[in-house]
């Protein structure tokens, strides 16, 4: 039996069990962690099997009377690597959450929701067809809504959950429309691979003829889930949920679902190579989002919100990679980013836990002495995200993206935007590290900072190690992961490190990281640096105010999309109330009046006239019956006697 369905089934069963029964926090955490550990073990087995050259395995359940309809699971390099990453990060986040949520009275429900998300995400990446992918896509959105609004007693959390749910629904509708459109073109076969007739196999020969609108609908679905401009507005507000949720859903896994969708359906996009308009849209959207979000992150003061905009920016880098290089480079950055961004979010949770709930970086400071393990691991994540060479996977994956963007023949515009975003990334991460861990503590009173418990620190250490070790298979000398995803032969060639093109881009990437870190440290980290007001705000107050207000995108949405939507809703409600309901009431009144008229005619005219006629006939009959005035028996006797006499006379006469 193929074990692929068991990978998502284990967390889903845990979610059902935790929902159906009441457990204490520790028991609920144990059940969820054991189920997730089982899913990780099975994902590792599938991953090793694919590495060993096992053909892409698929377990499909179909319906006999619906040919082409089937729900199946697929294990190939793309799905196996992503599933292993999701299961690995989820297991660490579950373990971290056992300590982080230990005092929460609804911890059992939290682990049920977390298990639901993990199972849905694993089902999404292992889907062998678009139907199952869409089902899991919706379950992921539901779990995200439940987890963002987990602390629903906070108005901000409830509002953030609604915002995320409604914004991502835009993409969900677009994705569903694209799936139905594709099914109509391909005879209803939504399986990715089906002996040459799967939708991706079919697209391999038909993609130049595919309608651009279909591909853009697919991309719109990916944009909403992966927070690409302008549908990014939900992701920063989603930080109102518990920090483990931010680490798992909004850094490592769910937000990467859009990138995974484009990577999985890449044959639909890749119709005309570098000049393909769909890929150009993907590349430009990703590059702009990367720079846009990085700019906003520079002026944010909330610890988690900085990381949220950083996530939006890095997702933009992944989309840029898809547009200019294809799935292999994008997935390289996706997996590496999952490690160091989960590390950063869990590190932020450790800071919040140890600092008594404080999240404003202006009120922190000097925590490296009170929280040395958190500081050391956080610094690893910061350097990986900033692109510090050579030990960190973030440098190699970002360098690969910049190299591909520079070589893109269509335009050098995305390369320029990506370079600016890379510089700003190093700047805002240095600012955050300096204000949180260096200098003196700026908060007055409150909880004395302390290190987090071992159950929270262990995942930080493991993720820090993964961030460094993953760089081994990401270097140009041995680009094992990239070549494996692309389906090519895995080769080791150290001379690639001496290639002029590589050295030039690597030099640019390193210089950008050094410049960003140097400027950030000069403004915020050096001794005696004035941080209130912010150094950038002192020099460029108008720009800083705009960036602090997120470039007024939320206000623009409120003034346009939200207002138009509310107006349309009110118009629809008015039409429903006064036109449709009013029309129905008028029609009902007319119908009732006609019915009453018909009833009156029936009762007063037809029924009464008929009754009178019957009464007249009865009266006439009675009168005619009484006319002779005698007795019927007497009449019969007289008639019989007369007949007898007449008969006797006849007999005598004839004798």
**Which positions ≥6 away from 419 have C-beta within 8 Å?**
402, 508, 512
- Give the per-residue pLDDT at 529: 64
Q: How far apart are the C-alpha atoms of 89 and 106, rounded to whole Å?
A: 23
Q: What is the pLDDT at residue 623?
A: 57
What is the pLDDT, as a whole number, of residue 207? 47
DSSP single-letter state for residue 276:
-
Element (H, E) at 61: strand 57-63
pLDDT of residue 313: 94
What's the DSSP call for residue 68?
E
- Predicted pLDDT at 65: 46
Is-contact 202 187, C-beta < 8 A?
A: no
How far CA 588 is from CA of 84, 318, 583, in Å, comes to: 62, 59, 8
Here the tokens at position 399 are 């360098």
Cβ pair 319, 283 in contact under 8 A: yes
pLDDT of residue 95: 92
Tokens of 386: 């900033």
- Identify the pLDDT of residue 105: 85
Burial of 652 (0-12, 13-18, 19+ CB in 10 A): exposed
**Quick check: helix, strand or coil at residue 591?**
helix
Number of residues that make up the chain? 655
Cβ distance 373 to 460 under 8 Å? yes
Q: Are 434 and 525 in contact (CB under 8 A)?
A: yes
The first and second tokens of residue 580, run together, are 């449709």
Question: Residue ranges of the chain with pLDDT lower than 50?
Answer: 1, 63-65, 207, 274, 624, 627
Compute the CA torsion angle 102, 94, 453, 305 (nearest 10 deg): -90
What is the residue-wise DSSP string for 167-223?
HHHHHHHHHHHHHHHHHHHTTT--BS-STT-SHHHHHHHHGGGS-HHHHHHHHHHHH
**Rounded distance between C-alpha atoms, residue 418 and residue 321, angstroms:** 10
């Amino acid at each position: 039996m193929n074990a692929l369905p068991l990978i998502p089934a284990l967390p889903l069963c845990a979610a059902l069990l935790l929902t159906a029964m009441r457990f204490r926090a520790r028991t609920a955490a144990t059940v969820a962690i054991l189920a997730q550990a089982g899913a990780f073990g099975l994902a590792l087995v599938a991953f090793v099997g694919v590495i060993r050259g096992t053909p892409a395995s698929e377990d499909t359940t179909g319906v006999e009377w619906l040919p082409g309809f089937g729900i199946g699971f697929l294990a190939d390099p793309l799905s196996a690597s992503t599933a292993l990453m999701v299961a690995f990060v989820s297991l660490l986040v579950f373990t971290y959450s056992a300590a982080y949520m230990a005092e929460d009275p609804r911890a059992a429900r939290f682990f049920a929701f977390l298990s639901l998300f993990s199972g849905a995400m694993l089902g999404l990446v292992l889907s062998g067809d678009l139907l199952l992918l869409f089902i899991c896509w919706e379950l992921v959105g539901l779990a995200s809504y439940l987890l963002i609004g987990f602390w629903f007693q906070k108005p901000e959390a409830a509002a953030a959950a609604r915002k995320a749910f409604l914004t991502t629904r835009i993409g969900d509708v677009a994705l569903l429309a694209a799936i139905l459109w594709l099914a109509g073109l391909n005879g209803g076969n939504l399986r990715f691979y089906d002996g040459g007739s799967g939708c991706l196999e079919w697209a391999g020969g038909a993609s130049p003829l595919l309608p651009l609108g279909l591909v853009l609908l697919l991309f719109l679905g990916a944009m909403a889930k992966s927070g690409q401009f302008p549908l990014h507005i939900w992701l920063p507000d989603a930080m109102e949920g518990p920090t483990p949720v931010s680490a798992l859903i909004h850094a490592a896994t769910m937000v990467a679902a859009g990138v995974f969708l484009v990577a999985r359906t890449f044959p639909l996009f890749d119709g005309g190579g570098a000049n393909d308009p769909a890929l150009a849209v993907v590349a430009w959207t990703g590059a702009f989002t990367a720079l846009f979000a990085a700019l906003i992150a520079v002026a944010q003061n909330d610890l988690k919100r900085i990381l949220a905009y950083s996530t939006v920016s890095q997702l933009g880098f992944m989309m840029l990679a898809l547009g200019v290089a294809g799935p292999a480079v994008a997935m390289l950055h996706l997996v590496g980013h999952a490690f160091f961004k989960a590390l950063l979010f869990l590190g932020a949770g450790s800071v919040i836990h140890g600092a008594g709930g404080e999240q404003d970086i202006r009120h922190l400071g000097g925590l490296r002495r009170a929280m040395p393990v958190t500081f050391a691991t956080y610094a690893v994540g910061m350097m990986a995200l900033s692109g510090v060479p050579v030990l960190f996977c973030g440098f190699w994956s970002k360098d690969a993206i910049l190299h591909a963007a520079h070589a893109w023949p269509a335009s050098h515009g995305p390369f320029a935007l990506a370079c600016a975003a890379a510089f700003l990334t190093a700047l805002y991460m240095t600012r955050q590290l300096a204000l949180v861990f260096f200098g003196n503590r700026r908060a007055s009173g409150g909880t004395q900072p302390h290190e987090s418990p071992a159950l929270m620190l262990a995942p930080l250490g493991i993720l820090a190690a993964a961030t460094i070790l993953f760089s081994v298979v990401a270097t140009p000398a041995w680009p094992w992961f990239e070549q494996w995803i692309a389906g090519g032969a895995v080769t080791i060639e150290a001379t690639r490190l001496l290639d002029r093109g590589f050295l030039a881009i690597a030099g640019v990437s390193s210089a950008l990281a050094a410049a960003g870190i140097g400027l950030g440290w000069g403004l915020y980290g050096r001794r005696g640096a004035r941080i209130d007001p912010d150094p950038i705000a002192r020099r460029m107050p108008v720009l800083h105010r705009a960036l602090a207000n997120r470039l007024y995108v939320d206000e623009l949405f409120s003034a346009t999309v939200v207002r138009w939507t509310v107006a349309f809703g009110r118009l629809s409600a008015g039409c429903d109330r006064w036109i449709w309901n009013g029309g129905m009431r008028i029609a009902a009144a007319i119908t009732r009046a006609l019915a009453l008229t018909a009833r009156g005619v029936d009762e007063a005219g037809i029924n009464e006239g008929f009754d009178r006629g019957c009464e007249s006939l009865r009266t006439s009959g009675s009168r005619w019956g009484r006319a002779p005035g005698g007795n019927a028996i007497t009449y019969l006797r007289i008639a019989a006697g007369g007949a007898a006499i007449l008969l006797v006379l006849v007999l005598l006469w004839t004798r």
